[in-house]
Chain A
Amino acid sequence: MPAPFVRVEGLRKTYLMGERRLEVLRGLDLELEAGELVALTGPSGAGKSTFLHVLGTLDAPSAGRVLIDGEDVFARGEEDLATFRNATVGFVFQSHHLLPEFTALENVMMPALIRRLGRPEARASAEAVLDLVGLSPRLHHRPGELSGGEQQRVALARALALKPRLLLADEPTGNLDPQTAEGIHALLADLNARLGITAVVVTHNEQLARSLPRRLRLAAGRLE
């Protein structure tokens, strides 16, 4: 049997706060196949964000392994991890986290520039992705000049700019009204279907969670 795209083994994340021990993740095991679209739900503070950060290599686990294509990613050095993130992972955060000084186009070009692609190349791919999320007419607007839904679309476009294999979305619609959220959900499902990107979407939105093919629930540091 070939190795699954993502395999998480005995993942633990513990913080020491003075004398106190805070166990955020208490041994997670998970396998994700390529192209899966997964909803991750759970109460606040259950460790969803932490899990997503570890999965995206932004944070190192205290114990356990994350295997991507069968390879232990945390065995890499810090610089290789950065390269890995650039090539393989796309993040969407609850608040869009766009760079306020740059236009939508420049924001979406950023991952390609980090990869040291040429400016014309970066621009072409960014324009294509922005077209994909339906924002072609607003390329040269800054985040401040865009609506909440548009901002989140730009963030999504930025996450997808380099065609990552793993999309990690942390409550992408948490700050949006239901109608706008609906649009983003539809877009996510559509992109997953069209591009075959494996996506983990953290959400409090039960309706969205139910609409996704696979649902995971994280409670008290464990998957249920």
Chain B
Amino acid sequence: MESDTTTPAGTAAPAPALPAAGREAAGSDHPVAPVFSVPAFLLVLVGVIVAGAGAPLVHAALAGRLALPPSLATGLAALLAGAVGAAFGAAAALVGRRLAFYEVTAAAILWTGTVALRVALLPTLRGSALGAEGLEQQGALVVVLGLLATGALAAMAVFIGATFTYLLAGTGRLDPSLSFELYVARSHLKLTPRTLLGLFLLCVTGVLPGLLFLLVRSLLDDLAERRAERRGLLHARRHVPATMLMTLISIGGVAIGVWALTVVLSVMSGFEADLKKKILGHNAHGMVMKYGQDDFTEWRQARQRVLAIRGVTGATPFLYNEVMVAAGERLTGALLKGIDPSTIGTVTDLPASVKEGKLAWLTDPAHIVAHPVRGEGQPPRGAEGDGVLPGIVIGREMAALLRVGVGDRVSVISPFGDLGPAGPQPKSRHFRVAAVFYSGMYEYDAKFAYLELGEAQRFFGSGDSVTGLELKVRDVDAARGVLARVQSELGGWPYRTKDWGELNRNLFSALQMEKLVMGVILAFIVLVASFIIVATLIMQVLEKTQEIAVLKSMGAGIPSIMKVFVAEGLIIGAVGTFFGLVLGLGTCLLVDQVGIPLDPEVYYIDNLPVLIEPAQFALVALMSVAIAFLATIYPATKAARLRPVDGLRSE
């Protein structure tokens, strides 16, 4: 027999000193559990593909068909796809009866391969259904990153599902109990309310004062030790065990990451909400227009029909043209809107944002008087001799630029005037400033000007026609759906509708992108904190090899040992997340109450805006705990795969 090859009797002696690397000779006739399960791999692959490819489709369906607001649609699509991926992962774990790590990795690599293939084929796919137009417009890099990120997230969902299921049912039967695992995990962490409170205070007071305090205490301790030594006394100094220190540092890391994420996202939400408020205050939530050159003369009937539609709370006609406004030597381009002063208030905040003069003077220009402060009691300049001029409302910035005030005369120049001998000639007409408005948005205050609708129609010679109707809806976020109803109610073509999101798409998508990028960058803090969790748990595993071996000798299975370390990591993650959420919420409330002044000339906001969105906090918490969970898996498998013999030998 093979094993009878001559071995000196002496070399067989030091069996207990065998290192773990000593490999067993082959010869056992029992089957070895497979390392790679093909059925599990197929399930995982389907999971990654369904989740990765399904998420954008679900998103498109939710945002398009059901007209849900984009952020809600994204969230729902991600949740749904994640759940489906996790379900496939769970199935894979049940089939393979192992962690599906290799299978998930293989599926992710396959996905990366298909992405590479698709990018290589992009030029030929352009225009076809497979081309993902939206992404393509933004360039190949975005396509690649988007696809890779989707794949990575899908693989993550599948992996989390598989791991979770393995932990719950890896023994072959459902075993959600944590009776002794939690017990052991808590003994490893040694977290007492006192240490947690100390850590929390350290986070609250800021790291610097806290460290200073610790330094001073350490200094005093050192002094006491020296003094005791000189007197020949024993001075027992309290030592914090290294693993416990690591635990506290990981909790602090997670807390700081979550803190930063929640605060920055809340501030960005605040900016977005503020901007939205200003844009929506000044603009309508949507508009109805007509295709082509058709005159929109039946707007009175259309307005009545639109007003009857559920969800629409206001409608007003407008006539829109681009013109130049001049006062003396000064000149500026302007967007001139003819409005109906009696109904404009049902759609925009224009009446409320008039700061000087009166909006009503648009229809009653004879009563325009100079603003008392500016005019200092004098009659309007240039009022004599001009007779009564029609009124115009301009923004504060335009007024400052043109150096005019209420009662002053401006001229409006339109490039499309009457037909002269040499084609169309510009036409110019004088108006008197009836009111100055201040919306808070520089763009609007510098560029918008308003005339009375009839006056505008006369000026532009458009008869009774208008450009369209501006609408206000009850629920801003449902504007898209309401406008779709409006369009079908009006009978579709030649009518078309646009909602505020479409009208300001660039701005809001830029804001969303900015928020996403900030979120990703700050999530890296949490990611780094998760590396500390990994290091902490590896230290724990190394320190507890003997304990793990003993637990195994008592019959603890692989899922049980894993649960111990997963529970440890989750406790670290959950406590850190909780600290971070509390700190984040506190900071937001503080900023909201006390206010951090901003230069209004630059930001048009005098205080740093903060919007506390519970969903955002929940999302950050979920992400942070999920990352902590993922961080535990490597150390936990490392612990569970320890051979009990090695742990028992280390005496």
Contact = CB atoms under 8 A, between A and B. Distances in A.
B35 interface: no
Interface stretch (B19-27, B398-406, B434-442, B444-452): B19-27
Contacts of B183: 102, 106, 113
B560 interface: yes
A53 B648 contact: yes
Given A63-B28, A97-B546, A220-B9, A22 B554 contact: no
A80 B33 CA distance: 13
Contact of B555 (A44, A83, A97): A83
B506 interface: no
A206 interface: no
B557 interface: yes
A44 B170 CA distance: 39
Interface in B12-34: 12-16, 18-19, 21-30, 33
Given A17-B22, A102-B187, A61 B28 contact: yes
B517 interface: no
Contacts of A194: none
A21 B5 contact: yes
A45 B441 CA distance: 86
Q: Is the interface of A mostly helix, strand, loop or mixed?
A: mixed
A62 B15 contact: no
A110 B644 contact: no
A114 B547 CA distance: 14
A115 to B, nearest CB: 7
A79 B554 contact: no
B7 interface: yes
Contacts of A80: 172
A109 B169 CA distance: 23
Contact of A58 (B25, B547, B552): B552
Nearest to B560: A114
A209 B175 CA distance: 43
Interface string A1-21: 000000000001111110011
A119 B27 CA distance: 43
Interface in B594-651: 643-645, 648-649, 651
A23 B16 contact: no
Contact of A22 (B22, B29, B97, B188): B22
B5 A79 contact: no
A60 B643 CA distance: 10
A14 B3 contact: yes
A15 B649 CA distance: 15
A23 B24 contact: no
Interface residues of A, number: 58
A79 B3 contact: no
B273 to A, nearest CB: 50
Contacts of B554: 85-86, 91, 110-111, 114, 158
B24 A62 contact: yes
Contact of B180 (A56, A97, A110): A110
A204 B172 CA distance: 41
B25 A14 contact: yes
Contacts of B33: 77-78
Interface residues of B, number: 56
A223 to B, nearest CB: 15
A79 B546 contact: no
Contacts, number: 156
Given A22-B22, A62-B28, A119-B179, A82 B15 contact: no
A58 B23 CA distance: 15
A118 to B, nearest CB: 8
A215 B312 CA distance: 96
B7 A23 contact: yes
A185 interface: no
A114 B187 CA distance: 16
Interface in A38-71: 44-47, 49-50, 53, 56, 58-63
Nearest to A115: B555
B15 A93 contact: no
B557 A78 contact: yes
Contacts of B552: 58, 82, 85
B177 to A, nearest CB: 5
A82 B555 contact: yes
A11 B621 CA distance: 54
B11 interface: yes
Contacts of A146: none
A74 B28 contact: yes
B173 to A, nearest CB: 9
B550 A99 contact: yes
Contacts of B558: 78-79, 82
Interface string B316-353: 00000000000000000000000000000000000000
A200 to B, nearest CB: 15
Interface in B538-571: 546-547, 549-560
A119 B182 CA distance: 13
A20 B11 contact: yes
A24 B15 contact: yes
A28 interface: no
A24 B12 contact: yes
Nearest to A84: B555
Contact of B15 (A20, A22, A60, A119): A22
A23 to B, nearest CB: 6
B25 A45 contact: no
A58 B179 contact: no
A206 to B, nearest CB: 21
B484 interface: no
A172 interface: no
A22 B11 contact: yes
B644 A99 contact: no
B196 interface: no
A49 B172 CA distance: 31
B24 A16 contact: yes
A210 interface: no
A15 B25 contact: yes
B3 A56 contact: no
A87 B649 CA distance: 23
B171 interface: yes
Interface in B175-212: 175, 177, 179-180, 183-184, 187-188, 190
A218 B504 CA distance: 86
Given A82-B555, A86-B555, A63 B7 contact: no
A116 B179 contact: yes
Contact of B557 (A83, A87, A94, A111): A83
Interface string A154-168: 000010000000000
A14 B27 contact: yes
A83 B559 CA distance: 12
A75 interface: yes
A171 to B, nearest CB: 10
18 contacts: A14-B25, A15-B25, A16-B22, A21-B3, A58-B552, A62-B26, A74-B28, A75-B30, A77-B33, A79-B172, A79-B559, A89-B553, A97-B546, A110-B551, A110-B554, A116-B175, A220-B9, A220-B12
The 10 A-B pairs at the shortest CB distance, nearest first, are namely: A86-B555, A113-B180, A101-B187, A14-B25, A45-B13, A82-B557, A15-B22, A63-B27, A85-B555, A58-B644
Interface of A: 12-17, 20-24, 26, 44-47, 49-50, 53, 56, 58-63, 74-75, 77-80, 82-87, 89, 91, 93-95, 97, 99, 101-102, 106, 110-111, 113-116, 119, 158, 220-221
Given A22-B11, A58-B644, A93-B550, 4 more contacts: A82-B171, A83-B555, A110-B551, A221-B12
